[in-house]
Structure 1
Amino acid sequence: MNDFELYFRLGYEHITDLNGMDHILFLLGLTAIYQFKHWGRLLGVVTAFTVGHTVTLVLAAMDVISVNAGLVEFLIPVTILITGLVNLMPVGQNPKNNLRIFIALLFGLVHGLGFSNFYRMMTMGDADTWGYLLPFGLGVEVGQLLIVFLVLLITAILHNFMRLKLRDWNIFNSGLVSGIAVYLMIQTWPF
């Protein structure tokens, strides 16, 4: 396996690993209001998230930023909670609203800080730290798109075959995500 494949796989596994449930929860909350017909819009939202966390990975690789890992581990569930709560507000229920792109980009910066510690450990002592950013980021993006596709598939099944109203799915999804986020915030309280 060459380095590109290795770091692509590491990025993909990092986002899809159930031990990193916070990333999956964030994506679940981010996609709560979308259906397959919004795929293009959702792709933009997910890519904004990837851009956000890639920016912080680059800044960490350049040693421009150094973060308190405990604080970041607390802030990640805060972003999940805010996303879940926004889903329940009228402004957050419009899949065409640009607010979700802004949220994904901004919160991607925070999640990227969490990635930065993992990425530093992964590339520690390696001269080609920069060369690994692209395959790692692409692996993360592909993993995110797989998760988003699965959430959209579940949404379609619930809505089209089980006749669950999209509003009810959003309330359930956002409530679940928000509840787990509060639990994670309590678990990671840094103060």
Structure 2
Amino acid sequence: MNLEQVVFYVFAAVVLSSALLVVVSRNLVRSIFLFFITLFSMAGVFVFALADFVALTQLVIYVGGVLVLMIFAFLLSNKHILDNPESLKTKLFGFHNLPAILVAFLFFGILLWCISLAQIDQLAWIQGSAGNTLEVTDNTIHNIGITLMTKYLLPFEVVSIFLLMALVGAAHLARKERKP
């Protein structure tokens, strides 16, 4: 086992353990911090998978954008919840969580059933990619940038307009109404 594999497995272990702790933790501040660690480690896993554009996007959009929005949502949340967190403690497995647990197991069963039915060796897109391999020296960001700005320019701009509309809508919903 070489050094790259060791670092990859460390990143993968950090991703899995911090993601589990995000779900299990009852403290919102710790969950947000652990979510930051999860997203940052996931970018490291993408680097080792030679997906440098996805790693960069992970850092810029998720770590830099979504996490900041989550921190702002935490800071602007209900003051009562922040002052008295003990009142929100509930049991993890209880009768009130039974519908959510059943739906989660149902989706997990459907996922396992779909995976068991899939014939992965027979998929056309896998058979068509037999000779396509990435080398460490390949520049995928350059190719993605050229493709985005030529072939997919219109969908790229439409998505940016939709994101702008969502931002304006979120700002409108978050605005406090003035009482006369």
TM > 0.5 between the two?
A: no
Which structure is higher in RCO with an 8 Å CA cutoff and minimum separation 6?
1
Q: Which protein has the larger Cα radius of gyration, Structure 1 or Structure 2? A: 2
